[in-house]
Each structure stands twice: as structure tokens, then as C-alpha cells.
Amino acid sequence: MKYIDEFNDPDLARRLLDEISATVTRPWALMEVCGGQTHSIIRHGIDQLLPEKVELIHGPGCPVCVTPLECIDKALDIAARPDVIFCSFGDMLRVPGTDRDLFRVKGEGGDVRVVYSPLDALKLARQHPDRQVVFFAIGFETTAPANAMAVHQARRLGLTNFSLLVSHVRVPPAVEAIMTAPTCRVQGFLAAGHVCSVMGMSEYPELAERHRVPIVVTGFEPLDILEGIRRAVRQLERGEHWVENAYARAVREDGNPAAIRMIEDVFEVTDRNWRGIGRIPASGWRLREAYRAYDAEHRFDVSGIRTEEPAECRAGEVLQGLIKPTDCAAFGTLCTPRTPLGATMVSSEGACAAYYLYRRMSEPALPREEMNPVG
């Protein structure tokens, strides 16, 4: 595929790997922030190809994984109501709440639909004026503009049967939380390229300076990731710590100003719980007072639902990079995508699921001659 295949070229990958190997003199621990990057790293086996001194720690950037249990339980409660059409991104349907998931609600008669965009949910609201249409608005800064746009349009169209169940999260406070945890091992970050394509890079220099960590804005294809690693390692070896853009084809310094304005018009910053991690100050968005009418939590009065996070799963440690998924005794035995102990095993972007899907069998990478296609 044009503009994709070019970033998956094995010869260029080898050159970047050679350059990383030639640069590194000491062990370094880098965190890729985004679940999409984790997925790509494991899917392509990038971590197997890096020099031993470069360790990748998988960050908390999977929005499905970090959506708090209480919010899932509220979604399940709303989705089960007979007058509701509940719309969600596909991979939320399998995330377990306290006693069931959205698939189960759908199997029991709930009208749960997979959509690709909140604007599809808005279209359903116009088509079904007699039903309440609720969109499960999760995600990082990447999905927030479209969700804000949906609310904006609902108000413009005078729709009274559309609302969002909001569980939006923000990346910079999570980076801050990771860096200030006493057990933190992270020495450099690969920042999430898509998040920065929306928000720009202005939130990061202060973090890089205060915590003295390199932050490299990084894309998602194999060469993007290797280039991000190369630049982060180069900074670390030189004793530097600044914000570098290795994803310039998508990320501008000031991001997407129109999208930022839309977010700021509709949402305001709030504290939020992250599943497996805990409460992080100023790490989320909620609907502003002016848009309260579009807040599903108010419309359906689910404020009585209070769920404590189960205290049994090590997902919190995985999300902070303290352990690898395979270090957990339950990995692949008690805890599988089928019977997830924690949300990191649920989404295909979750670190545990990525390891389960792609890396249960530990074996060395293949010799290079086996890389050539045959037949």
C-alpha cells in the first residue's frame, strides 16, 4: 500500500537497527505510550530485533484498557434499557464489567451497535427520534475531536435523543504520573503520534525538561517506531532530553487548531480513574456545563453505580512498565483474552493481549535468509 509499504521495508529496517546497535553503549528503557505502537511492535517482532541494551516498556495508551470498570458498568446499565440504542467502537463490546459485557447485553436483547464514528451514532439518532441513542465516547486526544463534533452537531440539529457516555483520557498527565511514581524505570518516551497530530507538541517540552527525559513523537509503522527508538537512544547516549518530532509527515508543532478548538468548546479537564492504575489528576475530559444535556450519565441517572476496581490483577504494573505481561503468573493460564483478569488482556491493543496473541512461544528471531518470500 502506498505510503504504508515504504514504512515496512526490511532493508531500511535493518539499517536503522544497525544504527541503533552502533549508537547504544549502555542499557536504556524506553516506553512507547500508545497501544497502537505496542500492537505494531509485537505484531512485527520489533522488540526481538533490537539490541539487548534497548528495552521497550509498554505504556498505558490503550483507551479500551484504561476505561474504568465503573464506567463499563454504567455503559452496561444504559445499554440494557429498552428505549436505548447503544453505540460503541467494536473493541469495547468484549470488555468485562462487573458481571457481563456489552456482547452479553446484546445477546439478552439490548440494542448494541458497532459504529466507526460518533457521527454514525448521530445519524441513528436522527433516524430513530423515538429512541435514545447513546455513544460510548472513550479514547485519548485522537477520538475527542470527533466526539466533540457529534455533540456540537446534535445541538445545532436540536436533537434531544442523543448523548455521550464520556470516559476521555489525556496523555500528558499519564506521562507525568509515570515519571513521578517512585518505581519508575522509564528513561525516554516514544510519544503517541496520532495524539500529537491533534494536540501538537506544546504539552511536552516542560515534561521533558522537568523529568530530564527525551520525548520523541513517533508514528506506528515499523520504520516509524525504529526511527523513534533511534532518536531516543541517540539523545540518551548524548545526555540530552528534548522533544523531537520523528513523525513530521503527520504531526505539526501546533497540531490541528480546529480540532483543539472543538475539544475545548465541548469538553473541560477533569480528574479521571484509569483502570489498573488509579486516579490521575487532570487526566480526563468531561462535557462542559453548557453541554450537560448531552451527558448520558445525567440523562440516565447512573450516578448510583459505584464500582471498586478488583484488586487482583497486575495490569497496573504492566501499564506502568514495572513488569512484562509474561512476568505475571496468571498470564496465559488464568488470564487469557477469553477469561481476562484485567483490561490489558481484552483489547488487541492491550499489552497483555498483544503478548498473548503474538508472543506466547518464546523463540529467537529467524535468520535473515528465511525472510525472503518463496513460491
- Considering only residues 93 to 112 of the shown chain, the ones binding another protein according to CB under 8 A are 93-94, 96-101, 103-104, 106-108
CB of 89 or CB of 235, closer to another protein: 89
Site for another protein in 110-169 (CB under 8 A): 113-116, 120, 123-124, 138-140, 142-143
Which residue among 157, 248, 258, 366 contacts another protein (CB under 8 A)? 366
* Closest separation in Å from C-beta 65 to another protein: 11
Which residue among 19, 23, 49, 269 contacts another protein (CB under 8 A)? 49
Task: Cell numbers for 328, please give them.
Answer: 505475571
Q: Map residues 173-192 to x or -, x wherever contact with another protein holds by CB under 8 A.
A: ---xxx-xxxx---------
CB of 200 or CB of 340, closer to another protein: 340
Helices (H), 24-117: 35-44, 46-49, 63-66, 69-79, 102-107
Which residue among 126, 131, 322, 326 contacts another protein (CB under 8 A)? 322
Site for another protein in 12-41 (CB under 8 A): 13-14, 36
Q: Supply φ then ψ for residue 112, to 5 degrees.
A: -110, 125
* Closest separation in Å from C-beta 11 to another protein: 10
Size of the site for another protein (CB under 8 A): 99
Which residue among 171, 236, 335, 352 contacts another protein (CB under 8 A)? 335
332 contributes a contact to another protein by CB under 8 A:
no
Cβ within 8 Å of residue 157, ≥6 positions away: 122, 126
* Closest separation in Å from C-beta 184 to another protein: 8
Tell me the three state secondary structure of residue 299. helix
Say how far apart CA 177 and CA 174 lie, in whole Å: 5
* Closest separation in Å from C-beta 238 to another protein: 27
Torsion of CA 335, 340, 342, 347, to 10 degrees: 120
Which residue among 55, 320, 325, 344 contacts another protein (CB under 8 A)? 320
Task: Quickly list DSSP for 126-195.
Answer: HH-TTSEEEEEEEESTTTHHHHHHHHHHHHHHT-SSEEEEEEEE-HHHHHHHHHHSTT----EEEEEHHH
Which residue among 216, 280, 296, 352 contacts another protein (CB under 8 A)? 280
299 CB neighbour count, 10 Å cutoff: 20
282 contributes a contact to another protein by CB under 8 A:
no
Task: Quickly list DSSP for 264-292.
Answer: HHHEEEEEEEETTTEEEEEEEEEE-GGGG
Instruction: With contacts defined by CB under 8 A, name the span among 229-237, 258-266, 278-286, 287-295 that binds another protein.
Output: 278-286
Amino acid at the residue 327: D
Site for another protein in 66-95 (CB under 8 A): 69, 89-94
Amino acid at the residue 82: P
